[in-house]
Structure 1
Amino acid sequence: MSEDKTKAAKALQGVKGMNDMLPADAPLWEMFEDAARSMLRAYGYQQIRTPIVEHTQLFVRGIGEVTDIVEKEMYSFTDALNGENLTLRPEGTAAAVRSTIEHNLLYDGPKRLWYTGPMFRHERPQRGRYRQFHQLGAEALGFAGPDVDAEIILMCQRLWDDLGLVGVRLELNSLGQAHERAAHREELIKYLEGFQDILDEDSKRRLYTNPLRVLDTKNPALQEMAANAPKLIDFLGEESLAHFEGVQRILKANNIPFKINPRLVRGLDYYNLTVFEWITDKLGAQGTIAGGGRYDPLIQQMGGKPAPACGWAMGIERIIELLREEKLQPEAAGCDVYMVHQGEAAALQSMIAAERLRDAGLNVVMHATPDGKSGSFKSQMKRADGSGAAFAVIIGEDETAAGTAQVKQLRSGNAAEGGPQTSVPAGELVEFVIGAMVDAIEAEEELEDDEQ
């Protein structure tokens, strides 16, 4: 075979940094998603879904032209049909605000919204950081008080508790208002100009465009310089300080520990007042698993009527990694019933029985093989045991002729040996299986009570 044909025959692979979620990973994702939906319902948040592709200008205007995302990380392209400049969304807030403005969602009062889905950033793939990644986000639009800032932080804590995560710490800061940041910015630039000989290229690039981000540097050589820089909190006025103190008061009242980090600025231009991050030490350099804050100017900045807003987003892949690190992997969900059959007539009766069991709300797997042959009862029972099913329903030629089915309990011992087996009339199969499942659950609960 020629080299060209060998290359053509090679199996295609996914794009680097854009990963598959495989069936073995599904229980962990489902555990996170179920906990997140339950938490969001508890706080009265409603789901919003926006397109994956938006106009590039949405993110330039919303996120900030001199941010890393807009300058280096966005997947942008020109639509070949109409010449529009489009971008795969790198984050969810700008799109949620765009939709809120476009559909006038605030006309009848404030809104609590949430979203989830894939985001895209062109960066070097590493643990917890991918080119296609998934976020869960919540946005509280139209609320001005520190109570809602505190609420969105409390939401995250409740989710960590529901998932069983420990060792996730909260860091807080306040960015104040625009005029306060301007006064701090002037002093900060003067301070940083005295260190131009040690600033790295990123810091020099940000010095006059986004000097706050210089303080967020991860460069070890710049840590002392950043630590001694003028602190924004020293420039905050009475109202900004009162807002920040209000947030802290509610968190303390709810026993939420936190650390004030004066260097915490977040990476997007739209924030003001409260900003926060949830951080873990268990994921290496990618320790931030969630972050957010208040962004009151954004709605007006994007063409809407002025309205306050705050919110957060969390990287789902990072949380999944943390759940694995803390060994919180749930068991894969098995089916309730596995259908074992042999013979054409038995296969047909099994299909009918499986549909009736599903009508009753049970999860049922029909035995099938790649070659279309049913295989021996022994091999099928081995598959039944491996499926995690509580019961096997067995229909062969004898059962088909007699209008019956055999029901075998699988979780007592193994499919080949353990558990009782009962012959049941076909018309009573559903009722019998449901009754047997209830009995098995009650017996397991009694055993747990005895052990305690």
Structure 2
Amino acid sequence: MSINIPRGTQDILPGTVEKWQYVEQVAREICNQYQYKEIRTPIFEHTELFERGVGDTTDIVQKEMYTFTDRGERSLTLRPEGTAAVVRSYVQHKMFGYPDQPTKLFYQGPMFRYERPQAGRFRQFVQFGVEAIGSEDPAVDAEVISLAMELYKRLGLKEFKLVLNSLGDAASRASHKEALVSHFEPRIEEFCSDCQTRLKKNPLRILDCKKDRDHELIKTAPSLKDYLNEESTAYFEKLQHYLTTMGIDYELDPNLVRGLDYYNHTAFEIMSSADGFGAITTLCGGGRYNGLVEEIGGPSSPGIGFALSIERLLAALEAESIELPVTSVLDCYFISMGEKAKEHFVKLTYQARQQGLKVEMDYKSRKMKAQLKSADRLQAKYVAILGEDELAEGIILVKKMESGNQEKIELDHVIDYLKKQ
């Protein structure tokens, strides 16, 4: 009986994994330019972290987490997102005491959510994200947004847009929450059970409901923008000013609601507009989370961040027919004819790799024609052919694959020869 991988997961095979490596390397380079340092957190954390950090009214906590009890009767959860774990580490290691603030971090790694698999969405997916913690300055918001936009631009994407909204500060959200409760409460029984639970805890999440999104009350619900106080309005206007001076285009969407409870003030998404990308257009989402550090036990430390799925990024590149420069060229393929030649190449291959050359040899004792085909598939620049006659002469036949020109090189000098090419 064959065993296949679990539903909602994938094997990333050679030929494809190089694209992942390229995208991840570009992300690292941009973070280095922006002075964001890498952080690596555990793949599983205490369940309470996500209940408190992500929010117990979210779909993630209510329906999508992979939670288990270990042998010590502790409830643990495979991380469904990256921010809560980064903030936990920020608090635990007292990064708020670092002399240079904000603390700027990035992460990339697997996340886990039990949701219906579909194009670009998996139960195990790889997320890249950044967090800037320790400053309540709209200029930091602009920097974080610009970092995300730069990644997509540098990879060659053109069909995407930035969408912004303000969720306001605590006072603004309290006023809006009161208005939403008054709006929905008389007819809340018409909504799904999730929305009924959210009514008093977090009615803003009703606006993001997938089941009831066409309900007339959602379309006529009070808009948050009408409840922004003077401070929240000024903050949002300053962010827009910074983005304009940076030459970053954006659209305003008062209905944009991020799916995590910890967001306030700035909320944003980057969406693909490429033909054939699919019905779910979101590439990246993020926002400001003042109050999350305190929720997890730390001092007042406002923060902002974003996260994106590498799978969806690659899908967007494919939708725009963008080829990444990931071809791997082999310096030389060693073709051996006979056992003595093969024995010599075992040593020569090792020595060539010690000198930094990318080389390969045949391990199947195939005929020359088959070995030449392997060299061609591996895009070898040269092949080095060694048989009994060449061994007797102390030379090796080196052929340039592109031109077909070949030379006889002394065996002891072939590595030096290849290094000069």
TM-score (norm 2): 0.94
Indicate the residue corresponding to 2:339 in structure 1. 344
CA distance in 2, matches of 1:219, 1:249: 36
Cα offsets for 1:382-410 (capped at 9, x unmatched) = 21111111111222212222222211111
Report the Cα distance in structure 2 between the residues aligned to 1:194 and 1:403, rounded to whole angstroms. Answer: 94
For 1:262-281, what per-residue CA distance to the aligned partner results, in whole angstroms no more than 9, with x for missing partners? 11120111111111011124
How many angstroms apart in 2 are the aligned matches of 1:222 and 1:395? 73
Name the amino acid aligned to 2:206: V
How much has 1:204 moved relative to structure 2?
Answer: 3.4
Structure 2 residue corresponding to 1:94, chosen from 84, 95, 98: 84
Contact 1:217–1:223 (Cα < 8 Å) also in 2 = no
> Higher relative contact order by CA 8 Å / sep ≥ 6: 1 or 2?
2
Once the two structures are superposed, what CA deviation does each residue of 1:324-376 show, in whole Å capped at 9, x if it has no partner? 1222233542322211112222112212222232223221112122xxxx121
TM-superposed CA distance for 1:194, in Å, is 4.9
Of the candidates 103, 121, 133, which is equivalent to residue 129 of structure 1?
A: 121
1:64 corresponds in structure 2 to 55
Query: Which one-letter code corresponds to 2:79 in the other structure?
Result: R
1:286 to partner: Cα distance: 2.3
Q: 2:340·2:388 contact (CA, 8 Å) conserved in 1? A: yes
Contact 2:30–2:151 under 8 Å retained in 1: yes
CA contact (8 A) 1:407 1:433 kept: no
- Matched with 1:168 is 160
| Worse-matched range after superposition: 374-383 or 346-355 | 346-355
1:253 equivalent in structure 2: 245
Which residue of the partner structure matches residue 6 of structure 1? Answer: none
Equivalent residue, structure 1, for 2:380: 389
Alignment of 1:168-317 (within 5 A): 168-196=160-188, 198-218=190-210, 222=214, 225-282=217-274, 283-317=277-311
Paired positions, count: 416
Equivalent position SS for 1:390: strand
Cα distance, 1:379–1:269 mapped onto 2, change above 3 Å: same
Percent of pairs with identical residues: 43
Change (3 A) 1:378 1:205: same
| Aligned mate of 1:354, from 349, 359, 363 | 349
- Equivalent AA in structure 2 for residue 425 of structure 1: E
Deviation at 1:202, TM superposition (A): 4.2
Question: Distance between the aligned counterparts of 1:70 and 1:200, measured in 2?
Answer: 17
Cα distance, 1:307 vs structure 2: 0.8
Q: CA deviation at 1:219?
A: 5.2
Relative to structure 1, the CA distance from residue 57 to residue 219 in structure 2 (aligned partners, 3 Å threshold; closer, same or farther) is: closer
User: What one-letter code is carried by the residue in structure 2 that aligns with 1:230?
Assistant: P
What is the aligned-residue RMSD (CA, Å)? 1.7
Q: Structure 2: which amino acid aligns with 1:68?
A: D
TM-score by length of 1: 0.88
CA deviations on 1:240-271 (whole Å, 9 max, x unpaired) are 11211111111111221111111112011111
Please state whether the residue corresponding to 2:15 is helix, strand or coil.
helix
Match of 2:406 in 1: 421
Q: Measure, in 2, the Cα distance between the counterparts of 1:90 and 1:221.
A: 24
SS at match of 2:247: coil
Q: Which shows bigger deviation, 380-389 or 69-78?
A: 380-389
In 2, distance between residues paired with 1:50 and 1:159? 23
1:105 is aligned to 2:102:
no
Instruction: Return the letter of the residue paired with 1:101.
Output: V
Counterpart of 1:431 in structure 2 is 416
* 2:358 alignment counterpart: 363
Q: Greater shift after overlay, 399-408 or 93-102?
A: 399-408
Contact 1:127–1:286 (Cα < 8 Å) also in 2: no
Task: Confirm or deny: 8 A CA contact 2:161 2:273 kept in the other structure.
Answer: no
Contact in 1 for aligned 2:207/2:213 (Cα 8 Å): no
Instruction: Give the equivalent residue in structure 2 for 1:158.
Output: 150
Alpha-carbon spacing, 1:192–1:137, altered in 2? closer, same or farther (3 Å) = same
Question: Structure 1 CA distance, aligned partners of 2:273 and 2:197?
Answer: 29
Unmatched 5+ stretches in structure 1: 1-9, 413-418, 437-452
Contact 2:177/2:203, CA 8 A, preserved across alignment: yes
Structure-1 residue corresponding to 2:73: 83
> Does the C-alpha gap of structure 1 residues 289 and 296 become closer, same or farther in structure 2, counting only changes over 3 Å?
same
Q: Contact 1:24/1:332 (CA < 8 Å) preserved in 2?
A: no
Partner in structure 2 of residue 445 of structure 1? none
